[in-house]
Amino acid sequence: MKKNELISKLSLIGAMILVASTLVACDSGTNYATTTATADDYSYAQGKNAFYETATTGGYDLYDDVDYYPEEAEYYDEGGYSVGNMSTPITETQANASVAKNRKLIKTVDMTIETVSFDETIANLRNKINAIGGYIESEYSYNGSLYNNSSQSKYATITVRVPDTELDGFVNDVSGIGNVTQKTTSTRDVTLNYVDTESKKEMYKAEQESLLALLEKAETIEDITYLTQRLTEVRYNIESMESSLRVYDDLVDYATVNFTINEVKVLTPTVIVEKTPGEELKEGFATSIKDVLVDTRDFFIRLIINLPYIIRGLICLAIPVVIIFIIVLIIVKVCTKKSKPSKKTMDNVKAANEKLTTVAAKVEAEKKAPAQTEVKKEENK
């Protein structure tokens, strides 16, 4: 029976806390300037009054030994700062002034800087950061490369956190270490989120006090177990809210400045001056001559630097060419040798020709011999 009665009381308490939270959220969203100041008052003081009233409905007073007096509770504004007793009236002007004073703003600045002395600029930036109590949150730097391309210059991206009160002076001071080509400033107002989180934290604290009071009065194991579990959840929520508030405080108290620093040979003009056609022609021609001389110098420098690699490449290219040339000569020589007849063959051919000549002479002589014999016979007759 007592367990059901206890659960009913806790359900009623939770419902009233939920209603209070809804009212706070609605008031914060509709008219922040005049109603947020009463949100904390409702969440803290009136919430405790609700707990006090509902806790006495079971025939015994759960807060008879709790040192809490609603009529003496201080009034808190939306920033969590005490502004007096809750019974003290507050005007709309005072509320607006309190809101403006305690507004939670997260500021971020992005800057792009050119410099002809990269290392000196980085050193000056570090000195200025340390001088105002800031710190470098992240940094990436590239120191250039002559191996791949001599035109690759140094650059760095640095994220800096500086005190919010020193932001404007720091930005103006840093603008003198180089040529600022781009600057962007953004501000994010998280006052509503901060107040809402703070109000929820106060309500959870009030619930925690009620649970502790109930835990002191609990008699059964079931009641103690239930209250302990709920108390653990409430404490976890309180720690989560406090962690979120600490994150907000850090982002608000320390502004973020993102730097992109590039090393260049010539700074970009910050002020554009109109020139006559003659001046443009003269300046353009001089710039072209300068670029040609610089490119020629860089070419010979790269040529001399890479000369060992060039020689190695020529040697590697010459070796296969020589090998191919030798192979071709050998093939041509072999083919020529095969097509040319040997000396022995030539002698045999010559001897055969002589024999043929001799045989032909004999045959011719034999043909002429009978004819001469017949002629002689006729002459004798």
In a domain, 78, yes or no: no
Mean pLDDT value of segment 30-47: 36
Do 361 and 333 share a structural domain? no
In a domain, 43, yes or no: no
CA distance 349 to 343: 10
Do 346 and 325 share a structural domain? no
In a domain, 377, yes or no: yes
Q: How many domains does the chain have?
A: 2
In a domain, 280, yes or no: no
Q: What does the pLDDT look like over 333-356, one tens digit per residue?
A: 888 766 656 666 666 767 777 777
The type of residue at 369 is A
In a domain, 347, yes or no: yes
Q: What does the pLDDT look like over 61-74, one tens digit per residue?
A: 333 333 433 333 34
Q: Which has the higher per-residue pLDDT, 11 or 247?
A: 247
Q: What does the pLDDT look like over 262-274, one tens digit per residue?
A: 998 888 876 667 7
Do 329 and 361 share a structural domain? no
Mean pLDDT value of segment 73-77: 40
Do 350 and 332 share a structural domain? no
In a domain, 328, yes or no: yes
Strand boundaries in the chain, DSSP class E:
74-76, 82-85, 105-115, 135-142, 155-163, 179-189, 254-263
For residue 349, give its domain range. 341-381
Distance from the first to the final alpha carbon of the chain: 185
Does residue 161 surpass a pLDDT of 80?
Answer: yes
Do 333 and 318 share a structural domain? yes
Q: What is the pTM of this model?
A: 0.52
In a domain, 336, yes or no: yes
- Secondary structure of 178-244 as H, E, C letters: CEEEEEEEEEEECHHHHHHHHHHHHHHHHHHHHHHHHHHHCCCHHHHHHHHHHHHHHHHHHHHHHHH
pLDDT band at residue 380 using 50, 70 and 90 as cut-offs: low
Do 336 and 306 share a structural domain? yes
In a domain, 212, yes or no: no
CA distance 375 to 380: 9
pLDDT for 257: 97
Q: Rounding to the nearest 10 degrees, give the CA dihedral for residues 195, 198, 200, 201.
A: 180
Lookup result for tokens 């270490």: 177
Contact present, 155 and 161 (Cβ < 8 Å): no
